[in-house]
């Protein structure tokens, strides 16, 4: 609810698929290369050329369909969407109109600790367009780079189930993590791998849905949040002032933070969709659909919910680990095989391990950290063989060298002293040597306790079990 209005949001998300070649020709599908260098007569739309479908695109889209619990249509077709624009060399985009590859799915997202199920209307495949280049150097002309023409896209259309910009953002982040998990999209926002169009309407509770507007040119998740909030406020202000919302397409300007009208419903483009006669009907055998389904791992949104709900891990840590295939695999193995607390495993993972990986640019496989090692490490800390501080030293070694943990402990002399008799002896010596601190403590200066425990740790060369040491000192001083 915003200012007494309910908000209804639906998103159309475009994701570029990371296939090796483009959707309708054999040009490489690569970003950031010299303008008009990744092109051929087919993707440049030269007269007489014909498209041929890259079947990998169908596989990738079906995977996403499975991940979003969609029905996969075993028979579907491709259609032409006709419009003129200089970045579209054929003057039509090959897309899918009435029969998409995947439809009627859903995705569960985690909002404020609660699962929200967002409907997925459809997922279809289509080709990307080129890019116009504008510069003062072009003497008033615009140039066009066709490298992106024919880059495969899936368009994921949600039901109008989202209720706030925050939910929209979580939904988008969930889609992103799934795309990444399936390894079908680079998810590089700055390269435009994921873009979305936003549909927003507002209405008073109990009243019928309001008129919706569509907003284009939303190129990042944070822009989506800003754009949605802007649009919600704009519509509410209009309605509060006694006006009406008109159905229209608006363009979001993220720099200025405003949206402006592109065209009204009356001026809506008629794309004159019709079946693409140059391509055959797409027929996907049930075996292929089933085989692709088997390739779908547990997805990050499911992991996230499991981590938070079953393990009581913080949302931040759970999100971080669930979104990384590598980290999640390590964590899952630890929780399955080990008997330590999931929280212990995850704090090593999001702490020392991630810091090291980020600092060095290495992957987990480059280190000696395995689930078995991490389980053993947590175990020797839990049973007080070594201290937490000692554990960090062991971990640091394991990042660089593959050695048995017990060897590292003995080499570094990290075995923790938990023998009460030994600790009592240390305590007696330290108390005898620090009469002033003992007096201070007894006069109420409680921070003297910390000093005395510290002296004991020093005397034990750090091997004393710090918890036990503290208990013993406290007892002796009372």
**Considering the complex, what minimum distance in angstroms separates the CB of residue 88 from other proteins?**
9
3-class state of residue 18 by DSSP: coil
Stretch that binds other proteins, among 110-118, 172-180, 272-280, 334-342 (CB under 8 A): 272-280
C-alpha separations of 268 from 92, 158, 224, 250 in Å: 16, 21, 23, 12
Out of 188, 272, 362, 406, the residue judged to bind other proteins by CB under 8 A: 272
Q: Which CB atom, from 273 or from 311, has the smaller least distance to other proteins?
A: 273
Among 34, 112, 266, 270, the residue binding other proteins under the rule CB under 8 A is: 270
Q: Closest CB to other proteins among 280 and 290?
A: 280
38 belongs to the binding site for other proteins (CB under 8 A):
no
- For residues 49 and 418, which CB has a smaller minimum distance to other proteins in the complex? 49
91 binds other proteins (CB under 8 A): yes
Using CB under 8 A, which of 15, 22, 43, 45 touches other proteins? 45
Tokens of 98: 């009435």
Buried b vs exposed e over 44-78: b needs ≥16 C-beta within 10 Å?
A: bbeeebebebbebbbbbbbbbbbbbebebbeebbb
Ranges within 153-212 binding other proteins (CB under 8 A): none
The Cα 275–Cα 281 span in angstroms is: 9
How distant, in Å, are the alpha carbons of 142, 273, 280, 351, 429 from that of 92? 20, 9, 17, 50, 88
d(CA 388, CA 393): 9
Binding-site residue total for other proteins (CB under 8 A)?
28
| Among positions 53, 101, 153, 381, the unique one binding other proteins when judged by CB under 8 A | 53
Task: Write the interaction track for other proteins spanning residues 224-263; mark x where CB under 8 A is met and - where it is not.
Answer: ----------------------------------------
> Hunting for tokens 């607390």 — which residue is that?
341
Nearest alpha-carbon partner for 21 in 52, 49, 47, 46: 52
* 124: its two tokens: 């279809």
Residue 139 Cβ vs other proteins, minimum distance, rounded to whole Å: 16
Cβ atoms of 12 and 20 closer than 8 Å = no
Candidates 45-53, 384-392, 396-404, 420-428: pick the segment binding other proteins (CB under 8 A).
45-53
Give the interface with other proteins as residue ranges (CB under 8 A): 41, 44-53, 80, 82, 84, 86, 89-92, 144, 270, 272-274, 277-280
């Amino acid at each position: 609810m915003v200012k007494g209005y309910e908000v209804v949001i639906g998103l159309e998300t475009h994701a570029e698929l990371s296939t090796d070649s483009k959707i309708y020709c054999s040009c490489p599908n690569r970003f950031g290369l010299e303008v008009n260098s990744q092109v051929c007569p087919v993707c440049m739309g030269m007269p007489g050329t014909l498209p041929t479908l890259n079947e990998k695109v169908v596989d990738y889209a079906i995977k996403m369909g499975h991940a979003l619990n969609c029905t996969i249509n075993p028979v579907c077709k491709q259609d032409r969407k006709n419009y003129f624009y200089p970045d579209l060399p054929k003057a039509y985009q090959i897309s899918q109109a009435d029969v998409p590859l995947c439809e009627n799915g859903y995705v569960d997202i985690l909002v404020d600790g609660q699962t929200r199920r967002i409907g997925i209307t459809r997922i279809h495949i289509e080709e990307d367009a080129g890019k116009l280049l504008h510069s003062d150097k072009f003497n008033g002309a615009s140039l066009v780079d066709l490298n992106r023409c024919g880059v495969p896209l899936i368009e994921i259309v949600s039901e109008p189930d989202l209720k706030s910009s925050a939910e929209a953002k979580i939904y988008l982040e969930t889609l992103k993590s799934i795309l990444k998990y399936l390894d079908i999209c680079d998810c590089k926002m700055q390269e435009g791998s994921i873009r979305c169009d936003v549909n927003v309407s507002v209405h008073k509770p109990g009243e019928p849905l309001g008129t919706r507007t569509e907003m284009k040119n939303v190129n990042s998740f944070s822009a989506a949040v800003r754009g949605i909030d802007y649009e919600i406020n704009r519509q509410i202000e209009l309605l509060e002032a006694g006006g009406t919302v008109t159905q229209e397409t608006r363009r979001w300007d993220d720099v200025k933070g405003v949206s402006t009208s592109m065209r009204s419903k009356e001026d809506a483009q008629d794309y004159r969709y019709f079946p693409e006669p140059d391509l055959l009907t797409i027929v996907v055998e049930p075996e292929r659909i089933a085989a692709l389904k088997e390739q779908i791992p547990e997805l990050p949104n499911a992991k996230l919910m499991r981590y938070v709900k079953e393990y009581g891990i913080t949302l931040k840590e759970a999100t971080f680990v669930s979104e990384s295939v590598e980290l999640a695999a390590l964590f899952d193995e630890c929780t399955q095989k080990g008997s330590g607390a999931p929280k212990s495993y995850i704090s090593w993972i999001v702490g020392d391990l991630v810091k090291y990986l980020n600092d060095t640019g290495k992957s987990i496989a480059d280190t000696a950290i395995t689930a078995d090692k991490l389980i053993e490490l947590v175990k020797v800390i839990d049973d007080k063989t070594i201290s937490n501080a000692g554990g960090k030293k062991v971990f640091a070694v394991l990042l660089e060298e593959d050695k048995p943990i017990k060897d590292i402990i003995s080499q570094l002399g990290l075995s923790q002293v938990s023998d009460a008799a030994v600790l009592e002896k240390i305590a007696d010596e330290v108390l005898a040597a620090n009469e002033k601190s003992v007096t201070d403590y007894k006069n109420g200066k409680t921070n003297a306790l910390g000093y005395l425990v510290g002296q004991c740790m020093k005397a034990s060369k750090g091997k004393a079990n710090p918890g036990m040491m503290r208990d013993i000192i406290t007892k002796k001083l009372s």
